[in-house]
A and B are shown apart, each in its own frame.
Chain A
Amino acid sequence: MNLKELVTGKKGDKQFLLGNEAAVRGVIEAGLSVAATYPGTPSSEIGNILSFLAKDANIYFEFSTNEKVAMEVAATAAASGLRSFTFMKHVGMNVASDSFMTTAYTGVRGGMVILIADDPSIFSSQNEQDSRHYGHLANLPVLEPSSCQEIKDMVKYGFELSEKVQLPVIVRTTTRVSHMRGIVEFGDVEDNSSNGETHWKKGTFKKNPAQFVPVPAFAQQMHIDLLEKMDEVKSISNKSDLNKQTNDAGSKIGAIASSSAFNYVHDVVNVNNLDIDVFKVGLSNPTPDKKLVEFLKDLDEVFVVEEVDPILEKEVLIVIAQNNLNVKVHGKLDGTFPMYHEFNPNIVKDGFNKYLHFYEKEEPKLTDSLKKLISEIPNRAPVLCSGCPHRAMYYGINKAAEELGIPSEDMVFASDIGCYTLGINPPYNAADYLLSMGSSVGDGCGFSVATDQHVVSFIGDSTFFHSGVSPLINAVHNKQNFVLTVLDNRITAMTGGQPNPGIPVDGMGDEAPEISIRKLANAAGVKFVRVVNPLNLEQVIKTYKEALEFDGVAVIIAKSPCTLIKGFPKRPTVQFDERKCNQCKKCSHELACPAISFKDNKIVLDGAMCNGCNICVQVCKYGALSAGR
């Protein structure tokens, strides 16, 4: 498929779309005007596609410096009467939450949809929190799509609901919904053509401090208004087709499920011909209590199936208690289903089987030699790419510490969120502590106060702009003492190469002012600021030695582009001369480059994989590796 079809596609067209592509079609159909995000998997593709399509779709789009800023951009656009969209991963929502919580109070004028992508089983995150709590915490409606078609439809409906009740609406997805592909039938597209010089439509902000300025006198009333609006959503939830019985077996046993968990329930019931009534919850906050009573009243037992926390299950227990129903609930709380990680058809089937006893588990009989083969296959751990400039910085800091005679237990490495977190792996072993985006700088502050060890923090360029600037100011002002390495690879690499404020291009591909990390550090009062080329090992080691001996905050900016940047000229491949190789294994063991392996007791260089960074050339003492031409 050509992505442009997300804009040009007509009603009735069918496409095989990724969940995140379906979300983009949803906002286009809804006539969206303003979108903002900070990239984070599993939501990243939404931003990549909007970045590509924004102008064709008359949408203003930006990669904001962080999720809180993105939330503020979307909230003010919606306050100005435009339809706005912000989206992020679950942990990004923590960053956005301060402004988010009060946006519930102010409410919106144009429709505002907040898509939060959860990551059960932690495929690419630091925790697996359940974002539905934010709906309960802020008192906002939550929609939970389970298929690609539903993502498109619910995102579109989210704007209608938002405008109807004047509240932001949350769409909660999970990895298996965001990164699922399925058939999506397109609907009509609402007109959002520009009404001015820009390609996106402009709104007008009509002042009303009583609505938009939550000083205590106003905020007290706002809380009451919010609860009234949510009462209205509750009656909508009780009428909505998004909450409905999907399987009527006339059984005494039922299942209530949402999001991807619903898919497993549907398939397990179907494949095994189980006698179970199924209820699907799509608009989950506020809970459709009346509809649930109707469903529950004829049941003896009900399974509640949901990922990650037992949120729906507790709501079901409340409904049962308030209505004096006699229904036994099986879910996470009684151990029928696990309290952690994503579900799959086997987990759901096993959970049902604990009470229904419809099958006996049979493992295929495998020969001993196959069992041995399975247990002995080598792992394929994620590694820094060949040619990655970060590799040299990790090699360099370890060498510098070694040359200064600092034992490794006296080096504390505060890491951050990005590809460079892979510095945790041997042989670098350069990640000792990690909390969240920007935390390496704040953690550097803390370690420098709490210990006499040498503290080195690592942060990427995008992450530095996201939330590394304020803790750097904190560090200088409080006279703290650590080395901060800004790994400036000229892109937001981990999420697939989005721009950030350090790059002269904005989210829509237009020219944009480039913000200098060096000048920011200087302006914050850092006395030791050096920009190094990480591909020059001698310079890296020398600079690290000076920084480790410097008393105060030292900032080293390692500036070299990510090898995955599109259009980046390919550097000549390193040449390997086997005759000169002394088999010291320094190149393979100390650099861990995927292009260099140690096979059949010999060093092997994979020319197809080599990106010509020449770091190995600088490490080899015997001249066996040399720069290509």
Chain B
Amino acid sequence: MAEDNYSMYICGVGGQGIIKTSVIIGEAAMNEGHNVVMSEIHGMSQREGSVSTELKIGDFDSSILPEHSADMILSFEPIELVRALDKANKDTKLVFNTFPLIPSSGDKPYPKIDNLISILKENYNNVLPIEGNQLAIDAGNIVSLNMVLLGAVTADDNFPISKESVIDAMKNNLNPKFHDLNLKAIESGYEWIRG
């Protein structure tokens, strides 16, 4: 397998912009000349339910990640990261937003975030929590949460696509009215990881 193969699992809750974010990454990869395949699930009441995409850049035909094979899991919500851990190995980068969205079903109590982070750190080498909601609000609007997380992805040293290409793909996919806000949000996510 080629060195620059890179797989991501992106997850969160319906309505957070998970599919749009994934498409931007995929399009940026294509524009840089990589092969890229992506999987997404549409349909029955995904609003407020778990949503995920799988993205593979490099020499792949299938869009589904084997178990424990992700280079990065990007989660828009803490427990959705936990739900996705069968895709992780010890070195997978676990980038996630720390702001919880409590399920209305309420079948089990929501875990404490500090506890969740420390348990993850005992098991994985690259645990990267982000105060995404706060960064998005600081950038100007909570709806730019997905852009904060997109910026965080580009800060990973192994990520095969440049930040510039990701920004170009963002501009091609989102309303120009929000470009400035989105750029600010992308930078803040990037700085959070680099800083």
- Residues on A lying within 8 angstroms of B by beta carbon are 1, 14, 16, 18, 41-42, 44-45, 123-124, 146-147, 175-176, 179-183, 260, 262-264, 266-267, 270-271, 344-346, 349, 364, 366-367, 369-370, 373-374, 376-385, 419, 422, 494-496, 564, 592-594, 596-599
When each residue 24-46 of chain B gets 1 if its CB lies under 8 Å from chain A and 0 otherwise, what string results? 00110010000111111111111
Complex CA–CA separation, A596 to B39 (angstroms):
32
Complex CA–CA separation, A346 to B67 (angstroms):
7
Interface size in chain B (residues, C-beta < 8 A): 57
Closest to A604 in B: B102
Return A109 CB to nearest CB of chain B, in Å.
35
Q: Given known contacts A42-B42, A267-B62, A597-B104, is B89 in contact with A377 (CB within 8 Å)?
A: no
Closest to B50 in A: A380
Complex CA–CA separation, A599 to B30 (angstroms):
44
Helix, strand, loop or mixed for chain B's interface?
loop
A-B contact pairs, 7 of them (CB 8 A): A16-B23, A146-B61, A180-B63, A181-B40, A382-B45, A495-B43, A593-B104
User: A367 touching B38 by the CB < 8 A rule?
Assistant: no
User: B83 touching A1 by the CB < 8 A rule?
Assistant: no
Q: How many A-B residue pairs have CB under 8 A?
A: 170
Q: Given known contacts A1-B173, A383-B105, is B42 in contact with A267 (CB within 8 Å)?
A: no
- Of B107-115, B147-155, B159-167, B179-187, the one contacting chain A is B107-115
Return B38 CB to nearest CB of chain A, in Å.
4
Closest to B49 in A: A382
Closest to B48 in A: A594
User: A378 touching B105 by the CB < 8 A rule?
Assistant: yes
Closest to B110 in A: A378
Instruction: Specify which of B40, B49, B79 is in contact with A179 (CB 8 Å cutoff).
Output: B40
Return B50 CB to nearest CB of chain A, in Å.
5
Q: Given known contacts A367-B122, A370-B122, A377-B111, is B89 in contact with A183 (CB within 8 Å)?
A: no
Return A557 CB to nearest CB of chain B, in Å.
23
Complex CA–CA separation, A123 to B61 (angstroms):
22
A349: chain B residues within 8 A (beta carbon): 66
User: A179 touching B41 by the CB < 8 A rule?
Assistant: yes
Q: Given known contacts A124-B44, A182-B37, A373-B119, is B1 in contact with A378 (CB within 8 Å)?
A: no
Closest to A384 in B: B45
User: A45 touching B42 by the CB < 8 A rule?
Assistant: yes
Closest to B111 in A: A373
- The reply to whether the CB of B85 lies closer than 8 angstroms to some CB of chain A is yes
Return A154 CB to nearest CB of chain B, in Å.
16
User: A598 touching B106 by the CB < 8 A rule?
Assistant: yes
Complex CA–CA separation, A147 to B39 (angstroms):
11
When each residue 45-86 of chain B gets 1 if its CB lies under 8 Å from chain A and 0 otherwise, what string results? 111111000000001111111111000000000011011010
B59: chain A residues within 8 A (beta carbon): 270
User: B47 touching A385 by the CB < 8 A rule?
Assistant: yes
Instruction: Specify which of A44, A262, A376, A597 is in contact with B102 (CB 8 Å cutoff).
Output: A597
